[in-house]
Homo-oligomer: A and B are copies of this chain.
Amino acid sequence: MDIATIIGLITGVALLLWAIMSKSDIAPFIDYGSVAIVGGGSLSAALISFPIHNLLGVAKVVKNCFFAKPRDPRDLISEMVKYAEIARRDGILALENATGSIKDPFLVSGIQMAVDGTDPDLIETIMMNDLEAVEARHAEGKGLFDNIGKFAPAFGMIGTLIGLVIMLKNMNDPSKIGPGMAVALLTTLYGALLANLVALPMAEKLGRRSRQESLLKMIVIKGGMAIQSGDNPRIVEQKLKTFLPNRVRESGTAAAKAA
């Protein structure tokens, strides 16, 4: 998981614990029934919202997305330029030997198709479709977190309503009104925390991560097309660098010159 997510979660939880414990003990804030209503309710809603195989696939996507460190695009461009040089010097078939050392399966499959003599338009269609499929899977992952961010507060409110009804039916003993209401409010608190400290911020980060990965795949696709059409490595570099933001591009150029 990336460092900011961990820091954010720890900071958030620590702050709330400190805020609670500076004025009270932690015990009144723990109620397993309330956890069950908010967590279980959100899970139920997710089960109804998503076809079950999507739900399982999503867990995997989310894990990859948070734990896999995204590659530096300048690095990737240098690599693509290297392959362009090989293809230019020794012919495109020479790339087949290089594929053994490439780690990115997306890049390998693109080179493999080019070596096999697949029609360039078909290669582009297939790779663009792969990119779209990856983006769709990421969108599903983001959708799951958005879903929890929407349903957790709703089940928080449902739990509070249940607690209030129980409390209101038993108002004979006034001394129990306060504690009863305190417990009723816990589900709303849990729902708000689950949504605002976990689900919604994670959905935002997932969306940003997905755009980063799409950029990398775009560079592979456009680079592969340029290599196959026999472009000069210099032109390949210039074309791919247009995918980088301004400042990054300049330092990237420097790095490429140094290389």
Write the residues of chain A forming the contact surface with B, with a CB cutoff of 8 angstroms.
Answer: 2-5, 7-9, 11-12, 15-16, 18-20, 22-24, 28-29, 33, 36-37, 40-41, 43-52, 54-55, 122, 125-126, 129-130, 133-134, 136-137, 147, 150-151, 154-155, 157-159, 161-162, 164-166, 168-171, 175, 177-179, 181-182, 185-186, 188-189, 192-193, 195-198, 200-202, 204-205, 208-209, 212, 238-239, 241-246
Contacts and interface: CB of A to CB of B under 8 A. Distances in A.
Interface secondary structure of A, over-half rule? helix
Contacts of A196: 41, 45, 151, 154-155, 158
Contact of A246 (B130, B154, B168): B130
Nearest to A212: B51
Given A37-B15, A41-B16, A50-B205, A162 B179 contact: no
B122 A238 contact: yes
Given A15-B44, A18-B36, A169-B178, 7 more contacts: A44-B197, A45-B201, A122-B238, A133-B244, A133-B246, A147-B204, A158-B193
